[in-house]
Amino acid sequence: MARKFFVGGNWKCNGTAEEVKKIVNTLNEAQVPSQDVVEVVVSPPYVFLPLVKSTLRSDFHVAAQNCWVKKGGAFTGEVSAEMLVNLDIPWVILGHSERRALLNETNEFVGEKVAYALAQGLKVIACVGETLEQRESGSTMDVVAAQTKAIADKVTNWSNVVVAYEPVWAIGTGKVASPAQAQEVHDELRKWLAKNVSADVAATTRIIYGGSVNGGNCKELGGQADVDGFLVGGASLKAEFIDIIKAAEVKKSA
């Protein structure tokens, strides 16, 4: 089974209601390849999820940027997976490096979150990736494998998981991974899944790249054999996101 190209837009903690409406309008008017070719998911901040969900074209879907690790209750400031399901939000991003680094989310905690969200029926974009220091010390694959293992330890069904490889040094820095650097880690990650989960999961799980993806670099990155799409931060707030969605076409001619 071919892996359908996946393009996610992570809006992070940005936007006013007016700005959100503008982005949605731009997306709604865009000519993009059909849903058979590319799956598009945008992730606004929690407070804008209902607005985006109710105004966004029906062939694009929405994701939350996080959710709580277990059933809701006395967890001030958190949003539970059950609430997302209740609002018909199909996707959630978990383990983003900004949460790992700034909010001290550990590999195990992220693994638990992924398992809990999946069990509630959400689909998960699970993020992994090394820091510059880790890359320079040669431990990229160890770090990414440990992050993936913490997820694999708790998850049995991978059909609703997309893995986002996002090198921390490439996020928001304008320093994109070269296509070869991205392909190398994606290939290693797929081999890791084959060895530690199953050949089928390795063959069917989408591994998307994130970190300074833009309209100029998306085609070459997307043309790599094991790059199944993108998680886009900064450029997902701009009209350029449409060009990134269109990069899915590179797979058709491949």
Measured CA to CA, the distance from residue 147 to residue 127 in angstroms comes to 9
- Respond yes or no: is residue 61 known to be catalytic: no
- Can residue 212 be called a binding residue for ligand PGA (CB under 6 A)? yes
Q: Is 96 a catalytic residue?
A: yes
Cβ proximity to ligand PGA, 93 vs 151, nearer residue = 93
Is the Cβ–Cβ distance between 131 and 147 less than 8 Å?
no
Residues in 74-113 at the binding interface with ligand PGA, rule: CB under 6 A: none
Verify binding: residue 9, ligand PGA, rule CB under 6 A. Answer: no
CB of residue 163 vs ligand PGA: minimum separation in angstroms?
A: 13
Choices 53-61, 117-125, 209-217, 242-250; region in contact with ligand PGA by CB under 6 A = 209-217
Q: Among candidates 242, 37, 43, 38, which has minimal Cα distance to 127?
A: 43
The catalytic position among 61, 82, 96, 98 is: 96
Binding mask 159-178 for ligand PGA (x = CB under 6 A): -------x----xx------
Is residue 221 near ligand PGA by the rule CB under 6 A?
A: no
Where does residue 59 rank: exposed (0-12), middle (13-18), buried (19+ CB within 10 A)?
exposed
* CA 188 – CA 148 distance, rounded (Å): 12
Q: Does 130 bind ligand PGA (CB under 6 A)?
A: no
What φ, ψ does residue 190 adopt, rounded to 5°?
-65, -40
As to burial, measured by CB atoms within 10 angstroms (0-12 exposed, 13-18 middle, 19+ buried), residue 120 is: middle
Using CB under 6 A as the criterion, which residues of the chain lie in contact with ligand PGA when the complex forms? 10, 166, 171-172, 210-213, 231-235
Q: Indicate which residues carry an active-site annotation.
A: 96, 166
